[in-house]
Amino acid sequence: MELVVKGMNCGHCEAAVQRAVKRVEPQAGVVIERAQGRVSITDATDAKGVESAIRQEGYEVSAVE
């Protein structure tokens, strides 16, 4: 799953996004490219849940088309 996450400005932001993903999908692999605003997630089955968890942290999220 590839997401565009707006508002990640620092390492704390990256950590918050990673924690949000892991709350929903503990087994998922997460790769964050902060400069591009992209988050790549592997082994996740609940896309809507992951997006919702990231939004709850205060970030705008959209799927990469």
Helix (H, G, I), strand (E, B) or coil at 14: helix
From residue 59, alpha-carbon distances to 9, 17 in Å are: 11, 8
Fill in the amino acid letter for 40. Answer: S
**Residue range(s) defining the domain that contains residue 45:** 2-63
Consecutive 10-residue runs of the chain (65 residues): their mean pLDDT? 96 97 97 96 95 97 85
What is the domain count for the chain? 1
Measured distance CA(3)–CA(12) in Å, rounded: 18
Length of the chain: 65
Per-residue confidence (pLDDT) for residue 65, from 0 to 100: 60
What is the model's pTM?
Answer: 0.92
